[in-house]
Amino acid sequence: MISSYPLSPRHRRAVTIFTVSSLLQIAFVVGVLKQAVPLDYSFRFAALGVPCCIYALVLKHNDSTRTYKSGGIMLGAISGLVLWLFLITVH
């Protein structure tokens, strides 16, 4: 079902910021697999990725429009945080 409501600016920002965090995770994992990035750099990547996940959670939690279900962004950002913590502890 397609909604006729436009996306709120906070919703768009939360999705964009979460996407940045996910792209950082992908870049880090691919870099490690291709041995272009040492595993010790996980903290440097996470220093950007973790705040992105937290900011996406805050933006979506404080979204006053409430016209959209926030489960996807909330679940994605929380799982992103868990994955960043895993990547930090692996090295």
> Distance between the two ends of the chain, CA-based, in angstroms?
44
pLDDT band, residue 86 (cuts 50/70/90): very high
Query: What is the structure's pLDDT at 31?
Result: 93
Look at residue 2 and tell me if it is in a domain.
Answer: no
The CA angle 28-60-66, to the nearest 5 degrees, is: 150
Look at residue 1 and tell me if it is in a domain.
Answer: no
Look at residue 78 and tell me if it is in a domain.
Answer: yes
Look at residue 80 and tell me if it is in a domain.
Answer: yes
Look at residue 68 and tell me if it is in a domain.
Answer: yes
Number of domains in the chain: 1
Query: What is the structure's pLDDT at 21?
Result: 94
Which residue range is the domain that position 38 belongs to?
9-90
Model confidence, pTM: 0.81
Query: What is the structure's pLDDT at 30?
Result: 95
All residues at 6 or more sequence positions from 80 whose CB lies less than 8 Å from its CB, including other chains: 18, 21, 22, 25, 49, 52, 53
Look at residue 60 and tell me if it is in a domain.
Answer: yes
Look at residue 3 and tell me if it is in a domain.
Answer: no
Q: What is the 3-state secondary structure (H, E, C) of 58-72?
A: HHHHCCCCCCCCCHH
Look at residue 83 and tell me if it is in a domain.
Answer: yes
Q: What is the pLDDT of residues 34-82, one digit of tens each?
A: 999 898 888 899 999 999 999 988 888 776 655 556 567 888 889 999 9
Residue given tokens 């996407």 in the structure block:
19
